[in-house]
Amino acid sequence: MNLKENLRPGEVLVAPGVFDMVSARCADAMGFDAMYMTGFGVAASHLGFPDAGLASYTEMLSRVEAIAGGCATPLIADGDTGFGGLLNVDRTVRGYEAAGAAAIQLEDQEFPKKCGHTLGRRVIPLEDMVKKIQVACEARASEDFLIIARTDARTALGLDEALRRAEAFQAAGADVLFVESPESEEEMAQICRSFDRPCLANMVEGGRTPVLSKARLAEIGYQLAIYPVTGLLAATAAMQAAYGTLKADGSSVGATVPMYPFEDMTRLMGFERVWAFDERYAD
């Protein structure tokens, strides 16, 4: 599936956040049009760190390689700030594309960056981010590999500055515009009215932006919606409930949290190939 061809006015592609191979294979098996590799989720699940610029390019690239290599669904991958200056952006875009991602998200925060729905974010000069987008567009091997340009200016500098930056990102060649953390439906509608490029909605449960239905997002004008932490929050809640039962009772007997069937889990992880391989080469 070509992600670029599937971004159409009046339609919203929904991309669940994936952060490891269990979440990725689960989403991949459900037939989504795209998946979003969340930096928040990778930093949390892979490193046990907050999303504060602590995950390196090498660590993030290894997740892109694993997820894109193990799934058929087009992968949008969080590239943070590009992990440095312009040469780093060039390397990051080339690396992500070669690893199999369908799109990269780059943002205009200062390094070290922070999660987009937290306070204290600072952005680099607009001219510097424009150069990053230009470098990213030149670095990709195919125009089917999408450059998603994100600005975090809304929270600290206001919506007008965020829109000014997104307009410059569009002129620099960005394929998708991502104005992070608008704080009302009115702001979201203003964002989509302002541009003739696809706009991305970041749906973070408990974040700064209203979480809306797919129909409402389409009505407002978004063409892409990511749900970066939905799976992570759900999985963490389920684990806390299950581990709570173990701690209290010393057993999983009586646990009320839904359990994914073990047989289904073995199949999700590809044991059928192992069984077929063993049978074929058995003595």
Which residue, among 271, 218, 246, has the nearest Cα to 9 in the 3D structure?
A: 218
Please list the ranges in the chain whose pLDDT falls under 50: none
pTM over 0.75: yes
pLDDT tens-digit profile of 32-83? 999 999 999 999 999 999 888 888 999 999 999 999 999 999 999 999 999 9
Give residue 116's pLDDT: 56
Residue 273 lies in a domain: no
Q: What is the rounded distance in angstroms from the CA atom of residue 204 to the CA atom of residue 186?
A: 17
Give residue 121's pLDDT: 80
User: How many domains does the structure of the chain reveal?
Assistant: 1
Residue 194 lies in a domain: yes
Q: Would you say 72 and 45 are in contact if contact means Cβ atoms under 8 Å apart?
A: no
Residue 257 lies in a domain: no
Residue 211 lies in a domain: yes
Residue 144 lies in a domain: yes
Residue 256 lies in a domain: no
Helix (H) or strand (E) holding 200: strand 200-202
Give residue 53's pLDDT: 82
Give residue 55's pLDDT: 86
Q: What is the rounded distance in angstroms from the CA atom of residue 37 to the CA atom of residue 40?
A: 9
Helix (H) or strand (E) holding 13: strand 13-18
Q: Looking at this protein, which amino acid is placed at residue 108?
A: D
Range of the domain at 123: 4-235
Residue 63 lies in a domain: yes
Non-local CB neighbours of 268 within 8 Å, separated by 6+ positions: 22, 25, 26, 29
Distance of CA 81 to the CA centre of its chain: 14
Half-sphere exposure of 36 (CA within 13 A, CB side): 27
DSSP assignment, residue 5?
G
* Dihedral sign, Cα of residue 76, residue 78, residue 79, residue 80: positive
Give residue 31's pLDDT: 93
Residue 181 lies in a domain: yes
> In this structure, what CATH number is given to the domain that contains residue 169?
3.20.20.60
High-pLDDT (> 90) share of the chain, %: 87
